[in-house]
Amino acid sequence: MLFQDLGKKKVVADFSGGHLSSDGGVLLLEQVDGGLGISRMLAGCFSDHRNEDLVEHSVEELLRPRLFALALGYEDLNDHGQLRRDPLLAAAVGKEDVFGENRRNPKDRGFASASASTLNRLELGTKFSDRYRKIHADPEKVEGSVLELGVRCLPKGTEVFTLDFDATDDPLHGRQEGRFFHGYYDAYYYLPLFCFCGDIPLWAQLRTSDQDASTGTVEALEKIVAAIRACFPGAKILVRADSGFSREPIMAWCEQQQGVSYLIGMARNARLENIVTPAMQRAQARHCLTGVACREYMETSYRTLESWSRPRRMLCKAEVIEGFKTNPRFVTTNIPPEGIQAACGEVLMSGSVEELYEKGYCGRGDAENMIKQMVLDLHADRTSSCWMASNQMRLWFSTLAYLLLERVRTIGMASTRWADVTLGTLRSRLLKVAAHVEVSVRRVYVRLCSAFALQDVFRGAACRLAVCGPPDA
């Protein structure tokens, strides 16, 4: 390939550079995977009925490249047609023959990792269970593993765990199983349900769009709360969600549990707007005097006409913004005025109306940023398989790839200016580094790019991630 001349010299390029990789950061992902045991635990959710004498890639060696590739930004299985040549990816997967020189079949030599068609068995085995598909997944075990791995990452010493539930739109572009027309989005969609605790994903459930946004939340809460309590017996739990989750079964379930509170938005209606009128009038009067946005807070006991079984505490925010526009907001909660208290009597969260709304409920918006990263950076919307079970597996893969990157950011980037960047920025700035791979009898020598701008950050991340040993068996 000829490019523009450089003075009197010609600029010529070809692909004869040798054993190179553009994803030197996969070494950091391998450290996280080994320390947290993601691939190892997930492999235990699959049953492998292949002939052991003919198997060249174990289930764990199939899962690792799939998760690593998603974390590195390769959304499609077709990408593995070339990725299987990458010697650094093969080393991270655990292949001693990183160049694939000793493969059994001559036509496979030069390809150390599994092909796209082989990796596809992981998804098809969730839908089909027959003699032609010999790798089968147990969806309940996978779901439990995703939850357990997320709980392992929750910060120790936390006294109140906040669970943010939200649904998002997943557009469909074919005739996938479970395809339904969603009137709000005016298109065909899936409606997945997510739960995050801070930055940590705990739940990712693919659902059809012909149901309420809150469907399945109680069942998810039962499993999530049990998993958290198994590791943190005395912890308090706060459930946050928008008005799509202000449903009697969810609130009633929380009220029946010890130490489980909720802050759930409530859609405005004529009754609530009438109740908040005095506070709104005060806010309007202040706005007339100051000319800036003004807020007033109040609370009341409220019960719907039919759907709720009992009156509940309703927090009301009356706000007047620029242009003298009113902006009322309502949140229902079971947190008493004295707040959430520890066993020793210490107040863990204030029960005042203003603080519950400002510091409690408004933080729910961060969960939407987590979902945005899940979709844009980890391709959680790549649900193009014909079968819904296979698409659910893809969603779980994206969730675990998210967890890999989140651990690199939280542990590897601790105390640096990169600690709060998005996962997409982390990938493009830290993981995308050129590397040359040399193999000798005693070592695999990875030469990272000498001009890499974040060498010190990379070294620091490698050191911090190295101390995260594997979990107890």
Together in a domain, 316 and 264 = yes
Together in a domain, 261 and 235 = yes
CATH code for the domain in which residue 211 is found: 3.90.350
> Cβ distance 118 to 385 under 8 Å?
no
In a domain, 27, yes or no: yes
Alpha-carbon span 216 to 36, nearest angstrom: 28
Give alpha helix (H) positions in 9-58: 26-36, 38-43
Together in a domain, 164 and 295 = yes
> Sign of torsion, CA 266 272 276 277?
positive
Contacts of 40 (CB under 8 A, 6+ apart): 60
Domain end residue (candidates: 376, 411, 427):
376
The DSSP letter of residue 238 is E
- Secondary structure of 339-362 as H, E, C letters: CEECCCCCEEECCCHHHHHHHHHH
- How many structural domains does the chain have? 2
In a domain, 330, yes or no: yes
Contacts of 81 (CB under 8 A, 6+ apart): 115, 116
Domain end residue (candidates: 351, 376, 401):
376
Q: Angle at Cα 406 formed by Cα 264 and Cα 194, nearest 5°?
A: 30
Which helix (H) or strand (E) element contains residue 365? Answer: helix 365-376
Residue-range definition of the domain harbouring residue 188: 140-376
Alpha-carbon span 108 to 252, nearest angstrom: 58
Alpha-carbon span 108 to 114, nearest angstrom: 10
Together in a domain, 175 and 107 = no
Together in a domain, 277 and 370 = yes
Domain end residue (candidates: 376, 398, 422):
376
In a domain, 3, yes or no: no
In a domain, 233, yes or no: yes
Alpha-carbon span 407 to 467, nearest angstrom: 13
Alpha-carbon span 232 to 2, nearest angstrom: 62
The closest of 214, 217, 264, 261 to 242, measured between CA atoms, is 264
Query: pLDDT tens string for the chain (473 positions)?
Result: 988 888 989 999 988 888 889 999 999 999 999 999 999 999 999 999 888 888 999 999 999 999 999 999 999 899 999 999 999 999 999 999 999 998 988 999 989 999 999 999 898 877 766 677 889 999 999 999 999 999 999 999 899 999 999 999 999 988 889 989 988 878 899 999 999 999 999 999 999 999 999 999 999 999 999 999 999 998 999 999 999 999 999 999 999 999 999 999 999 999 999 999 999 999 999 999 888 999 999 999 999 999 999 999 999 999 999 888 999 999 999 999 999 988 777 888 899 999 999 999 999 888 999 999 999 999 999 998 889 999 999 999 999 999 999 999 999 999 889 999 999 999 999 999 999 999 988 899 999 999 999 999 999 999 999 876 544 43
Together in a domain, 364 and 410 = no
Which helix (H) or strand (E) element contains residue 463? Answer: helix 455-466
In a domain, 473, yes or no: no
Alpha-carbon span 280 to 293, nearest angstrom: 12
Together in a domain, 295 and 395 = no
Together in a domain, 116 and 144 = no
Q: Which two tokens stand for residue 284?
A: 């309007």
Alpha-carbon span 81 to 116, nearest angstrom: 6
The closest of 168, 44, 117, 70 to 402, measured between CA atoms, is 70
Together in a domain, 193 and 277 = yes
The closest of 152, 186, 212, 138 to 396, measured between CA atoms, is 138
Largest CA distance in the chain: 85
Together in a domain, 345 and 396 = no
Q: 3-state DSSP call for residue 312? A: strand
Together in a domain, 74 and 147 = no
In a domain, 33, yes or no: yes
Q: At how many degrees (to 10) do helices 59-71 and 26-36 cross?
A: 130
Q: How many CB atoms lie within 10 A of CB 344?
A: 5
In a domain, 9, yes or no: no
In a domain, 130, yes or no: no
Together in a domain, 102 and 217 = no
